[in-house]
Amino acid sequence: MATNDDLKQTNKLILRNLEPEDYAQVKEIMDRVYPTLGGWTLLEFKAQLKTFPEGQICIEDDGKVIAAAQSLIVDYDKYGDRHTYNQITGEGLISTHDPKGNTLYGLDIFVDPDYRGLRLGRRLYDARKELCYRLNLKRIIAGGRIPGYAEHAHEMPPSKYIELVKDKELQDHVLGFQLANDFHVRRVLKGYLKGDTASKEYATLLEWSNMDYEEPHTNPRINRGIVRVGIVQWQMRSVKSVEEFLDQVEFFVDAMAGYNVDFVLFPEFFNAPLMALRTDESPETAIRTVAAHTETLVEKIGQFAVRYNVNIIAGSMPEYYDNTLYNASYLCRRDGTKDSQKKLHITPDEEAYWGMHGGDKLCVFETDVGRIGILVCYDVEYPELPRLLADKGIDILFVPYWTDTKNSYLRVRRCAQARAIENECYVAISGSVGTLPRVDNMDIQYSQSAVFSPSDFAFPHDATIAEATPNTEMTLVADLDISLLKELRERGSVRNLRSRRNDLYSLRWKGDKEDFVVVSG
Where does 395-511 show beta strands of DSSP type E?
A: 396-400, 426-430, 432-434, 450-452, 464-467, 474-481
CA 4 to chain centre: 17
Task: Kindly report the number of other CB atoms within 10 A of residue 280's CB atom.
Answer: 6
Q: Which of 58, 132, 332, 377 is the catalytic position?
A: 377
Nearest-angstrom CA–CA distance, 242 and 4: 14
Q: Is 377 marked active-site?
A: yes
Contact (CB, 8 A) for 480 and 226: yes
Contact (CB, 8 A) for 401 and 394: no
**DSSP for residue 313:** E
Nearest-angstrom CA–CA distance, 358 and 343: 6
Q: Is 343 marked active-site?
A: yes
Q: Which of 44, 207, 268, 350 is the catalytic position?
A: 268
Q: Give which of 263, 208, 335, 310 is closest to 482, Cα–Cα.
A: 263
Tell me the backbone φ, ψ of residue 307, rounded to 5 degrees.
-65, -40
Tell me the backbone φ, ψ of residue 486, rounded to 5 degrees.
-65, -40
Tell me the backbone φ, ψ of residue 177, rounded to 5 degrees.
-65, -40
Q: Give which of 48, 141, 128 is closest to 102, Cα–Cα.
A: 141
| Distance (Å) of CA 160 to CA 144, 149, 163, 485 | 16, 10, 5, 50
Nearest-angstrom CA–CA distance, 261 and 484: 19
Q: What is the 3-state secondary structure (H, E, C) of 336-383?
A: CCEEEEECCCCCHHHHHHHCECCCCCEEEEEECCEEEEECCHHHHHCC
CA 90 to chain centre: 36
Q: Which of 343, 363, 424, 467 is the catalytic position?
A: 343
Query: Which residues have a Cβ under 8 Å from the Cβ of 446 and sit 6 or more positions away?
Result: 403, 404, 405, 406, 408, 409, 431, 433, 470, 471
Query: Which residues have a Cβ under 8 Å from the Cβ of 468 and sit 6 or more positions away?
Result: 231, 233, 447, 448, 449, 450, 474, 476
Question: Which of the residues are catalytic?
Answer: 268, 343, 377
